[in-house]
Structure 1
C-alpha cells in the first residue's frame, strides 16, 4: 500500500471511529422519539442548536467547504504546488463522506425546518453522485500524480509492459497464452454514456474479479513482475471503453457541481435563517 492510500485509509478509519463514538455518546437520545426529546437529559447538548450539536454542525460544514477546494485544485494550475491531484482526490472522498456524516449527527437524525430538510436532502444527493462519480473515475486510468491518461499514454504503457515481460518469459511460455485468453474474453462495450452508467456496476465487479485473477497469476510466477501481467490485460480492455468513460465523467462532474451549488446555497440560507430567527450557539432557539 502506497503512502497516499495509507493516509486515505487512515483518515477514513478515523472518520468511522468518530462516527461510532458519536453514536455511543448519544444513541439513547437519537433513538428517542423526536416528540419526547425535549424532556431528555441530553437534549440541551445534542439537539441541533445545543452545545454539542451546534459544534457538530460547524465541524461538518467546515469539512464540506474543505471538500469543495478540490474543484479549485483541478482548475487552477497555481495550486499544483500544494500536492498531487491524486492526494487531493482521496481527501475529497474522505471529507465528502466524513463531513456529511457529522452533519447527520448535527441534525440529530431529524431535520425539522423546510430549509434544513432541503439542505440535508441536497447534501445526500451530492454524496450519492460523488460516490458514483468516484467509481466512474476509477474506470479511467490515471498517472501516479492523478492526471488522466490518454490513448497514446496507454498504448505506450502497454508496449513497455509487454517488452518488460518478454525479458522474463519467452514467447513459448504458457503465461502468454493465458494473458491472451484473458485479454480476449467477451467484453460488454456500451455505445453511449448512459449505457456506460447502466453497466457501471457490472464493469466494476468484472474489473475487480479480473484484477484478483491477474494478481494471483502474477504472484504465482516468481520470475515475472505481476504489474506487467496486470497492465497487459487491463490496458487492452480499457482502450475499448476509454473514450466513453471520459465523456461520462465530464458529464457526471457537471451534474455533481450542480448539486454542490444547490447544497451550498441551501446551507447558506439555513445558517442565515437561523441567525435571523435568533438562534444562539449552545442555547438553541
Structure 2
C-alpha cells in the first residue's frame, strides 16, 4: 500500500460566479418557458386568425407583453457589445476576468434572441426574416465559438497560455501525481498508461481530433469510473489517493489533447470570427433600422 496522501491540490475551488450564473439560467429559462406555454395558443394560430384571439392586444409585437419582449431582448443584445469593449480596451479591466465577461456575453446572446423570437410572435417575413436568421447564425456560432475558446488553455484571467507555459503545466501535473501518490518514474508511466493519458493519435486529422475532444467531454463520467476500477485494482489506492489521482489524470489528459488541437483550434477560431462578425453586424444594423421605423410609426416606449 502506498503512503497516504498528506495534502492534495486537486480539490476544485467552489466557483460561486458559475453557480450563480447557472441559477440565473434556470430562472430565466423557466420564466421563458412559462411565457412561451402561456402564449402557445396564440402563436400556433394562422396569422389571419390572430386578431380574433382574446390575448391579441397583449401578445402581438406592439402589445404590452410582445413589445416588452422586444425591448428587453434588444437591450440584452446591445449589452453583449460590452464584452467586445472589455476585450479590446482597458475599460472595465478591474471588473472581473475576461472569461467571466464571456460567460455573461453568452447568457445575453442566448436569452436576448429567445425574447426577440417571442416579440416576433414567430411571424418571420421580409427584412425581419433576414434579421432573425442572422440572429440565429450569431447565436449558434457563438455556442461553437465558446466550445473552441475552451479548447485553448488559459490562465485564471482568461489570457491564452503560450506553448511553453502549457508544456510546463503538463509537467507540473506529472510531478503532482508523483508527489501526491509517492510514485517513482516507472510506476508513474504505468499509471498514465493505464489511465490512457497518452492514448492520443498525434497523426489524426483535424476532424478526428475535434470528435475525439467532443467524445472526451461527453463521456468524462464513464471514463473516470473505468479509470477508478483499473487504478484501484493495479495500484491498490485508498479512496483519497484514488480521488486525487483521477482528478489530476483528467486534467492532464485534457491538457494533452488540447496541446494537440492548439494550432488547429487557433486557426478555426480565426475562421469563426470571419463568420461570426458579419452576421452580428448585419443583425444590429437591421435591429437599428427596425427600431427606427417602429418609432417613426409611433410605436414608442409602451411601459
Query: Residue 261 of structure 2 corresponds to which residue in structure 1?
Result: 241
In the alignment, the residues of structure 2 paired with residue 8 and residue 265 of structure 1 have an alpha-carbon distance, to the nearest angstrom, of 29
In the alignment, the residues of structure 1 paired with residue 43 and residue 202 of structure 2 have an alpha-carbon distance, to the nearest angstrom, of 46
In the alignment of these two chains, the number of paired residues is: 278
What is the Cα deviation at residue 184 of structure 1?
2.9
In the alignment, the residues of structure 2 paired with residue 59 and residue 229 of structure 1 have an alpha-carbon distance, to the nearest angstrom, of 44
The answer on 1:223 being equivalent to 2:233 is no
Which aligned runs of 4 or more in structure 1 are off by greater than 6 angstroms?
A: none
SS at 1:231's partner residue?
A: helix
Query: Residue 52 of structure 1 corresponds to which residue in structure 2?
Result: 65
Query: Residue 21 of structure 1 corresponds to which residue in structure 2?
Result: 34
Query: Residue 169 of structure 1 corresponds to which residue in structure 2?
Result: 182
What is the Cα deviation at residue 172 of structure 1?
6.9
In the alignment, the residues of structure 2 paired with residue 266 and residue 158 of structure 1 have an alpha-carbon distance, to the nearest angstrom, of 47
Tell me whether 274-283 or 27-36 shows the greater mean CA deviation: 274-283
The answer on 1:123 being equivalent to 2:135 is yes
CA RMSD of aligned residues (A): 2.6
TM-score by length of 2: 0.82
1:162-201 alignment, distance < 5 Å:
162-167=174-179, 168-171=181-184, 176-181=189-194, 182-187=196-201, 195=206, 200-201=210-211
Query: Residue 261 of structure 1 corresponds to which residue in structure 2?
Result: 281
Aligned match of 2:99 in 72, 82, 86? 86
Which has the larger Rg?
2
TM-score by length of 1: 0.87
Cα deviation code 1:191-231 (max 9, x no counterpart): 6xxx45x8644531234435752477469651262442223
Closer/same/farther in 2, CA of residues 145 and 280 from structure 1, 3 Å limit: closer
Query: Residue 119 of structure 2 corresponds to which residue in structure 1?
Result: 106
Cα deviation code 1:172-196 (max 9, x no counterpart): 77664242351332437566xxx45
Closer/same/farther in 2, CA of residues 150 and 121 from structure 1, 3 Å limit: same
Query: Residue 138 of structure 1 corresponds to which residue in structure 2?
Result: 150
The answer on 1:66 being equivalent to 2:79 is yes
Query: Residue 204 of structure 1 corresponds to which residue in structure 2?
Result: 214
- Consecutive unaligned residues in structure 2, runs of 5 or more: 1-13, 233-238
In the alignment, the residues of structure 1 paired with residue 41 and residue 190 of structure 2 have an alpha-carbon distance, to the nearest angstrom, of 61
In the alignment, the residues of structure 1 paired with residue 79 and residue 19 of structure 2 have an alpha-carbon distance, to the nearest angstrom, of 20
In the alignment, the residues of structure 2 paired with residue 210 and residue 187 of structure 1 have an alpha-carbon distance, to the nearest angstrom, of 18
In the alignment, the residues of structure 1 paired with residue 85 and residue 47 of structure 2 have an alpha-carbon distance, to the nearest angstrom, of 40
Query: Residue 5 of structure 2 corresponds to which residue in structure 1?
Result: none
In the alignment, the residues of structure 2 paired with residue 76 and residue 133 of structure 1 have an alpha-carbon distance, to the nearest angstrom, of 21
Closer/same/farther in 2, CA of residues 176 and 189 from structure 1, 3 Å limit: same
- Consecutive unaligned residues in structure 1, runs of 5 or more: none
For the 8 Å contact 1:136–1:200, the answer to whether it is kept is: no
In the alignment, the residues of structure 1 paired with residue 118 and residue 216 of structure 2 have an alpha-carbon distance, to the nearest angstrom, of 36
